[in-house]
Amino acid sequence: MNKEIILEDLGSRDYKEVWDYQEKLFKKILDLKIRNRREELELRTPNYLLFVEHPHVYTLGKSGDMSNLLISEDQLKAKEATFYKINRGGDITYHGPGQIVGYPILDLENFFTDIHKYLRLLEETIILTLQDYNIKSERSPGETGVWLDVGTPFARKICAMGVRASRWVTMHGFAFNVNSNLGYFDNIVPCGIKEKAVTSLNVELGQAKVDENEVKQKILTHFSNLFMAEIIKSDV
């Protein structure tokens, strides 16, 4: 079992470029697992965690509803935003500047074989990170992600999640609103959930801008502790 996770901070990158890169790493791990099984080998499978910030983009999961995109193709262009249908679970979401996106590409057989547990640990990573900023957040029953003031008229989502897994290898991940322009969420029904608001860390703290590198370090601390993993930083 390999509990090392290679961290790559990709900076600001186009969504499709990073999706293709995820697929490449995902396939690399799958191919190695298939070879291990076929040839009765025990070669170690790698694990990755990608940090990235995307230009304005909307993505729709495989079970999503197109009607949750509320603007036309021309309006997308006017807002300098792109749109993709993708192979993760979940409905529609937004990525853009000021949002920390994390893509864990893990062989869960190195950790545990439980997708439910995996999602709960991703949520717990963000919940503990927000706790570091004295913000109480929680899960919302039946709604993946991290929320504030659940069960009240003021319920709002601060982190969306959507994953894909095959043979216990994961891809896609979480999108944590840190300094996001929340106006872009007005163009969709976020995650297909009507009449629920979204928020970001800087809004909750009443700050113009939060240090995103500091937030990433807190995420890494909690992520590595929860997965009992060692983070190995890679120069991309």
Is residue 108 over pLDDT 90?
Answer: yes
Q: Which residue has the tokens 């890169």?
A: 21
State the pLDDT confidence band at 92, using cuts at 50, 70 and 90: confident
Q: Which of 28-32, 90-94, 194-198, 227-231 has the lowest mean pLDDT?
A: 194-198
Comparing 88 with 181, the larger pLDDT belongs to 181
Whether the CB-CB separation of 159 and 126 falls below 8 Å is answered with yes
**% of residues, the chain, pLDDT over 70:** 97
Among residues 29, 106, 191, 229, the one annotated as catalytic is 191
Whether the CB-CB separation of 114 and 65 falls below 8 Å is answered with no
Q: How far out from the chain centre does Cα 200 lie?
A: 15
State the pLDDT confidence band at 1, using cuts at 50, 70 and 90: confident
E strand segments, the chain: 4-12, 48-53, 57-60, 82-85, 92-95, 99-105, 138-140, 143-148, 156-166, 169-177, 197-198, 230-233
Is residue 85 over pLDDT 70?
Answer: yes
Q: pTM of the predicted model, to two decimals? A: 0.93
Q: Identify the burial level of 2 via C-beta atoms within 10 angstroms of its C-beta, where 0-12 means exposed, 13-18 middle and 19 or more buried.
A: middle
State the pLDDT confidence band at 179, using cuts at 50, 70 and 90: very high
159 is catalytic: no
State the pLDDT confidence band at 194, using cuts at 50, 70 and 90: low
Query: Side chain identity at 33, as an amino acid letter?
Result: K
Q: 23-64, pLDDT tens digit by residue?
A: 999 999 999 999 999 999 999 999 999 999 999 999 888 878
| 12 phi and psi angles, rounded to 5 deg | -95, 120
Tell me, what's the pLDDT at 93? 86
Is residue 195 over pLDDT 80?
Answer: no
Query: Side chain identity at 82, as an amino acid letter?
Result: T
